[in-house]
């Protein structure tokens, strides 16, 4: 890869940026402005992959000559997508629905290399929530305000106390960017990593 090549994270998420700093000292961030609405009948993993690539392509169009990283996460509770709750009421409702159940998080990453070729990976994380009382949920939402997180929790914070078990291959995927796959895709794009 050219030493002048820039790496751009197609996201303004502080969570994804914090994760990417584990791999890279220098990168830029850009908002992709992508419509995240689901297509009719679209499966959660396919939606995550499509949106990760759409975000990366949107930023690649305005940042030619850069390696671009796009990512998206879709939470799936028995086929129902749990989007970012936005409101306290919606967060309470999502966590009550997840209580004692398994939620699957499909976290996709797409890297567009300097030739404009896109490669995408989808990581699947299964989270088993413990039984949550209304008081547990109220305390958690009040303390952590997870209104910008799919599934209404922050596993890198107090949200980890809501779980019985997490099953996955990459612990960073649940936060929003699977770093094992990201590092593999970046190396394939010519980015030098340890």
User: By the 8 A CB rule, do 47 and 64 touch?
Assistant: no
Nearest CA among 104, 107, 100 for reference residue 80: 104
Hey, which bits of the chain come out as E strands? 6-9, 28-29, 66-77, 80-82, 102-112, 118-129, 163-167
Structure-token pair, residue 59 = 């930023």
Q: Which of 72, 76, 113, 123 is catalytic?
A: 72
CA–CA distance, 174 with 39 (Å, rounded to integer): 23
Residue whose structure tokens are 């305005």: 62
User: By the 8 A CB rule, do 147 and 92 touch?
Assistant: no
DSSP summary character for residue 87: S
Structure-token pair, residue 183 = 């590092």
Has 78 been annotated as catalytic? no
CA–CA distance, 189 with 1 (Å, rounded to integer): 8
Residue 118's DSSP bridge partners are 112
Catalytic residues: 72
């Amino acid at each position: 890869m050219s030493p002048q090549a820039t790496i751009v994270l197609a996201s303004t998420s502080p969570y994804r940026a914090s994760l990417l700093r584990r791999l890279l000292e220098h990168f830029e961030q850009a908002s992709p402005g992508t419509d995240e609405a689901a297509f009719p009948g679209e499966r959660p993993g396919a939606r995550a992959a499509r949106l990760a690539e759409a975000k990366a392509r949107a930023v690649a169009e305005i940042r030619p000559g850069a390696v671009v990283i796009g990512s998206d996460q879709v939470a799936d509770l028995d086929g129902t997508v749990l989007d970012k709750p936005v409101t306290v009421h919606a967060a309470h409702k999502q966590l009550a629905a997840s209580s004692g159940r398994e939620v699957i998080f499909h976290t996709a990453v797409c890297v567009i290399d300097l030739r404009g070729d896109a490669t995408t990976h989808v990581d699947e994380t299964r989270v088993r929530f413990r039984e949550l009382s209304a008081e547990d949920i109220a305390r958690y939402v009040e303390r952590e305000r997870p209104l910008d997180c799919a599934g209404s929790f922050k596993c890198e914070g107090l949200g980890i106390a809501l779980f019985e078990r997490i099953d996955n291959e990459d612990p960073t995927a649940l936060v929003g960017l699977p770093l094992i796959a990201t590092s593999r895709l970046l190396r394939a794009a010519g980015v030098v990593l340890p």
